[in-house]
A and B are shown apart, each in its own frame.
Chain A
Amino acid sequence: MIKVENISKYYGTLQALNNISFTINEGTCFGLVGPNGAGKSTLMKILSGILLNFDGDIHVRDWKVSKDRLKIKQQIGYIPQEICLEDTLTARDNLILFGNLYGLKGKELQRRMDEVLDQIGLSERVKDKVVTFSGGMKRRLNIGCALLHKPGIVIMDEPTVGIDPQSRNSIFSIIHQLKAEGSTIIYSSHYMEEVEQLCDSIGLIDKGQLMEFGRMEELLEKYAKPSLFIAGESIELGMLQTFGEAEAKGNGYLLNSDEPLLTLEKLVAHCRENSLEPRRLELYHPRLEDIFFNLTGTQLRDA
């Protein structure tokens, strides 16, 4: 179990994190989401032991970060957003470097290297220099370097940025395998569908504060309004508002209703009577992205 207790962090007078607390159960995948500048990276750096000066404490199993930093670091595999590899050296050299940094040597290191290379699908390229690798291969090796010491906690900071769908799929397989092996995963990403697909629980952070925390299904239920999605040239917002609260969404409209099936029936009848032909008419299942926009708004955050 990872217990984050009252974490606050200041950069000079700027408060990056404000009294954040949550608990991640062992063997689960926790998604950390938030807009740019929300404090996500600061929290990831604290969780991975990079940032040392902060208020509050983190408990990992029976250890406290404030007292047992080295023991905790040995349990963590940190996969940064940046590709942290020595480009001019081979994949093997890079794996040896990170294996050694976690205390692996000799036959044990070789055995783990073989296992990890197999896991990330780079066994055939082990003797090649990293500079010759594609973006996806580098990302996979970046992950492999963090898994050599079989960490119980894997922290992934946007591991799928800028890669092709095949490599992304391969990374998802690695994550599923890690989950099956019982690893605890902390996953940060801007891709909401990835977080929704992979994570059991999420923390939504904005302006340094934890806006929401909980199990994915609970949050979807909490924020999701039962609704219908309807689209078509002949469909107008004014007409939909006679059935309930409606708003534009994408290339159609979202119609909120406490009884979506009943509203669906009425809407179909109305369309028949008035010879309206919707292009799409379906029950809408709320997504993590809806919760995200609901809590953080839709305004740009890069200013």
Chain B
Amino acid sequence: MWAIARTELKKTVQDKGLWFWTFVLPIVFIVAFVAIFSGDESTSYKEVVTQIIPGYTIMFAFFIMISMVIVFVKDRERGMVARIASTPLSIHQYFFGKWLPFMIIVLVQITVLFGFGVVVYDLPLGDPFALILLSLALAFIVTGWGMAMAVIVRTENMGIAMTQILALGGALLGGLWMPVEFMPDVVQNISKALPQYWALQGYKEIILSGGGVADIWLHLLILIIAGVAGGVLALVSYPRFLRQSRS
């Protein structure tokens, strides 16, 4: 299990594309959108950075699913899935080993982007314990869904397309690009079915309203349940994934 995790982390760190999607592009977006919206006199500077920095952090956290899809599909195509299945490693250990590095990457991503917000835009952080728990829950759901997607999709392109729909569609409807209060009632109701909404509302609760763990327990619960559902779906789909593997 740790061997798989170590190898995956080593490979992932070498992937320049991942660095771009995970750190460079989100920072470019944050800088650009804070510059555009901080001129709006009807909204306070704190509200702007509290909407944009967590919003884009959540949106780009979902893009880890692309890297996960690429890794799993490649493993399937070159027979690595079947090769590992021939070793004494259990399915659970295999998934844990594959999942852990991506969880770490998303947590580092959240830390870097929030850190950037603090240093450059004076972003307030609120209760650190609540912030860490919510960030763990966010990393858990995106990597859980990433695993499910990676195991289910037939091709890399299909996985990338579906991630775009989930990440960008979820960002639009979940209020990451603009506060849900500005959206029609129907869209506001749809938002509540999306993890992006619960993650952003959780961050706002902590940062803007000074909330603690007691104030975001529902947000945490929803994100964790959604993440577990992704993990279970990945496990259930594994036999089919293994059958499709070359050997």
Which A residues are within 8 Å of any B CB, using their own CB? Answer: 11, 41, 44-45, 48-53, 70, 73-74, 76, 78, 80-84, 86, 88-89, 93, 96-98, 100-103, 157
In the complex, which residues of chain A have a beta carbon less than 8 angstroms from the beta carbon of B79? 80-84
User: What is the chain B residue whose CB lies nearest that of A94?
Assistant: B7
Q: Is the Cβ of B84 less than 8 Å from the Cβ of A49?
A: no
A45 to B242, CA, bound (A): 11
Besides the known contacts A76-B86, A96-B3, 9 further A-B residue pairs in the complex with CB atoms under 8 A apart: A44-B247, A73-B87, A78-B83, A82-B82, A84-B78, A84-B79, A84-B82, A89-B7, A89-B11
The answer to whether A50 touches B242 (Cβ under 8 A) is: yes
- Residues from chain B with Cβ under 8 Å of A52 in the complex: 239
Instruction: Give chain A nearest CB distance to B207 CB in angstroms.
Output: 39
| Pairs A-B, 10 closest by C-beta atoms | A82-B79, A100-B3, A84-B83, A78-B86, A101-B87, A48-B86, A73-B88, A50-B85, A84-B80, A97-B7
Q: Which residues of chain A have C-beta atoms less than 8 A from B78's C-beta? A: 82-84
B80 / chain A contacts, CB cutoff of 8 Å:
84
Question: Please, how many angstroms separate the alpha-carbon atoms of A89 and B15 in the complex?
Answer: 12
Known: A97-B7, A100-B3. A82 touches B246 (CB 8 A): yes
**B42 lies within 8 A of chain A by Cβ:** no
Are the C-beta atoms of A89 and B247 separated by less than 8 Å? Answer: no
B87 touches A89 (CB 8 A): no
Asked if B193 is at the interface (CB within 8 A of a chain A CB), the reply is no
Among residues of A, the one whose C-beta sits closest to the C-beta of B94 is A101
- Give min CB distance, B123 to chain A, whole Å: 36
**A-B pairs with beta carbons under 8 Å apart, 22 shown:** A41-B247, A50-B85, A50-B242, A70-B88, A73-B87, A76-B86, A78-B83, A81-B79, A81-B246, A82-B247, A83-B79, A84-B80, A88-B14, A93-B7, A93-B10, A97-B4, A97-B7, A100-B2, A101-B84, A101-B87, A101-B89, A102-B88
Nearest-neighbor residue (CB-CB) of B91 within chain A: A52
Known contacts A82-B79, A89-B10; decide if A101 and B85 are in contact (CB<8 Å): no
CB distance from A271 to the nearest CB of B (A): 53
Point out the residue from A41, A44, A74, A93 that lies within 8 Å of B88, measured CB to CB: A74
Name the B residues within 8 Å of A82 (CB-CB).
78-79, 82-83, 246-247
**CB <8 Å contact, B83 and A80:** yes
Given contacts A41-B247, A96-B3, contact A80 B14 (CB under 8 A): no
Residues of B contacting A98 in the complex (Cβ-Cβ under 8 angstroms): 87
Q: How far is the CA of A157 from the CA of B85 in the complex (A)?
A: 15
Report yes or no: A80 in contact with B3, Cβ–Cβ below 8 A.
no
Question: Max chain B CB contacts within 10 Å: which of A41, A89, A100?
Answer: A100
State how many angstroms separate the Cβ of A74 from the closest Cβ of chain B.
5
* Given A84-B79, A157-B247, A49:B7 Cβ within 8 A: no
Across-interface contacts of A44 in B (CB, < 8 A):
247
What residues of chain B lie closer than 8 Å to A83, measured between beta carbons? Answer: 78-79
Is the beta-carbon distance between B86 and A50 smaller than 8 angstroms? yes
User: How far, in whole Å, are A88 and B71 apart by their CA atoms in the complex?
Assistant: 13
Q: Which residues of B contact A102 (CB under 8 A)?
A: 87-88
- In the assembled complex, which residues on chain B have CB atoms less than 8 Å from the CB atom of A73? 86-88
B11 touches A49 (CB 8 A): no
**Chain A residues closer than 8 Å to B87, beta-carbon distance:** 73, 98, 101-102
Interface residues of B in 58-92 (CB under 8 A from A): 78-80, 82-89
Taking CB atoms, residues of chain A closer than 8 Å to B243 are 11, 51
